[in-house]
Copies of this chain bind each other. A is one copy, B any other.
Amino acid sequence: MHRVAIIGGGFGGLETAKRLAKAPVSIMLVDRWNYHLFQPLLYQVATGGLSAADIAIPLRFILRKQKNVQVWMAEVTDIDVERRMLIAPPRQIPYDTLVVAAGVSNGYFGNDHWSTAAPGLKSLEDAAEIRARTLYAFEMAEQEPDPELRRLWLNFVIIGAGPTGVELAGALGEITKDTLREDFRNIRTEEARIFVLDMAPRVLPSFPEDLSAAAEHSLIRLGVRPLLGVRVVEIGANGVRFERDGRQDSIGARTVLWAAGVQGSTLGRLLNRRAGAELDRMGRVLVEPDCSLPGHPEIFVIGDLACYRLAGGNTLPGVAPVAVQQGRYVARLIQARLQGATLKPFRYLNKGTLATIGRHHAVADFGRLRFHGPLAWFLWLFVHLLYLVSFQNRLLVAIQWAIQYFTFNRRARLIVPPPRHAPAAEPASSSKPSL
């Protein structure tokens, strides 16, 4: 039996496995975690609207009826491309075809020390950390008598104005204006300031300009302050220093969130060392038109980890539909090859993109058709519910969204576990902060 090993149970890896359900192959799906994560809603877990179990589904549960798949919770530490063997201590996993769909992690453009001060949003643990830090900041502000130190707790800086940054900022705006409004006695949560920084001259830089403008308008109505065309030069426990128009400036803030960049999984570097894979600036693996690794037709790289170049010189974006379509393509190609055939190169069909900014607002880009406002927002709700993997989760997310819509409440406002790198609360008499 032809052995297919898949690394990663995200959108790409899971789709590959499912589409091979009827193929005469035996599949080993390896993941560090035991669940598939619906990343597009991760920011809602980070902002207390949903719980982990609403957007993460055990891989075994999804694949329980597909008897040609084994799910293997393990960390792949090496790949022996000669012997066609994954090394996942203490075991080894042989393969005939390998699909690497290991995704990306937070990337700090070489400033890895920023990760402590500015957690990103790629995993459930990241989401718990962001949730804990954000809520903890309001708790500390409530207790802080010194107005300058209180201001540090009430300033929130989000670095990156792409979809993740904008969605985080929109949710934080709602939280401060509505959700928490009655909860505190010594602070007015509306006084929180939410900054969104980006190097680009506009928010949602990957969207058309008119939608960027609409998104920016919605953010400002939620009290969010976009700071665009700025370059971040330093991030510390007390805030962010940045450059704009050649002049340096800074924002003091205890809570800084990172939504500015990603880097390819360590599996990319492994493929570079072991199979001569070429990596782009972000550590993504350059692939052939059929998603395979140059010189290694038996290895495919798909999803966020792949750098798939288009004819014009652009590359495909790191979004779920690309991963899903590549997974589907690779599954078909594997089956074709087993029958001695081959396929035309992979082609991405862009069905459009959506991003939401608080309640009632979203932007929708379907190429020629593009619009924003409540209709886009309903579409966003509908599409995200539709794509949630399990019916049970669709039901429970829909109910929680309805509750949230009518009550402004976000149930999961839990500081648990406590923030990992929360700066110690300092006595009011302490000296003024420096970064």
A residues in contact (CB < 8 Å) with B: 33-35, 51-54, 56-58, 60-61, 64-65, 67, 70-74, 89-91, 124-125, 128, 135-136, 139, 142-143, 180, 182-186, 390, 392-393, 395-396, 399-400, 403, 407, 409, 411-417, 425-428
Q: Within the assembled complex, what's the spacing in Å between the Cα atoms of A143 and B60? A: 14
Contact B403 A183 (CB under 8 A): no
| Complexed CA–CA distance, A139 and B74 (Å) | 9
- Residues of B within 8 Å of A57, CB to CB, are 411
Is B185 a contact partner of A34 (Cβ separation < 8 A)?
no
A52 touches B413 (CB 8 A): no
Which of B51, B143, B392 contacts A91, CB < 8 Å? B143
How far apart sit A183 and B62, CA to CA, in the bound complex (Å)?
9
Hey, which chain B residues are within 8 Å of A412, CB to CB? 51-53
Complex-state Cα separation, A67 to B53, whole angstroms: 34
Contact: B427 with A58, CB < 8 Å? no
A72 surroundings in chain B (CB, below 8 A): 142-143
Q: List the B side residues contacting A411 at CB < 8 Å.
A: 53, 57, 390, 392-393, 396
Supply 9 further A-B pairs (C-beta < 8 A) apart from A34-B414, A58-B414, A392-B411: A34-B135, A51-B52, A53-B411, A56-B416, A57-B411, A58-B183, A70-B186, A73-B143, A396-B399
8 CB contacts below 8 A, A to B, read A52-B414, A53-B411, A53-B412, A57-B411, A60-B180, A392-B411, A395-B403, A396-B399
B53 near A184 with CB under 8 A, answer no
Residues of B within 8 A of A185 (CB): 67, 70
Tell me the number of copies of this protein.
Answer: 2
A421→B67 CA distance, assembly (Å): 32
Contact B124 A414 (CB under 8 A): yes
- A186 to chain B: closest residue by CB: B70
Q: How far is the CA of A128 from the CA of B128 in the complex (A)?
A: 13
Q: Quote the shortest CB–CB distance from A423 to chain B (angstroms).
A: 13
Q: Which of B58, B90, B409, B426 contacts A413 (CB 8 A)?
A: B58
**Quick check: B393 and A61 within 8 Å, CB to CB?**
no
| A417 and B125 in contact, given A392-B407, A407-B392 (Cβ under 8 angstroms) | yes
Residue of B nearest to A180 (CB): B60
Q: If A392-B407, A399-B399 touch, does A60 touch B183 (CB 8 Å cutoff)?
A: yes
Q: In the bound complex, do residue A416 and residue B90 qualify as a contact, i.e. CB atoms below 8 Å apart?
A: no
Closest 4 CB pairs of A and B: A53-B412, A51-B51, A60-B183, A90-B427
In the complex, which residues of chain B have a beta carbon less than 8 angstroms from the beta carbon of A33? 415-416
| In the complex, residue of chain B having the shortest beta-carbon distance to the beta carbon of A88 | B143
A34 touches B413 (CB 8 A): yes
Bound complex: CA A403 to CA B321 (Å): 30
Q: Report yes or no: A416 in contact with B183, Cβ–Cβ below 8 A.
A: no
Q: How far is the CA of A42 from the CA of B194 in the complex (A)?
A: 35
Q: Are A90 and B428 in contact (CB under 8 A)?
A: yes
Expressed in whole angstroms, the Cα–Cα distance for A409 and B395 within the complex equals: 14
| Closest chain B residue, CB of each to CB of A50 | B53
Tell whether A73 pairs with B34 under 8 Å between CB atoms, given A53-B51, A399-B399, A409-B61. no
A61 to B143 CA separation, bound complex (whole angstroms): 17
- Indicate which residue in B34, B70, B139, B396 contacts A396 across the interface (CB closer than 8 Å): B396
| Complex partner residue of A415 from B61, B71, B73, B400, CB under 8 angstroms | B73
A125 contacts across to B, CB distance below 8 A: 416-417
- A143: B residues at CB distance < 8 A: 72-74, 91
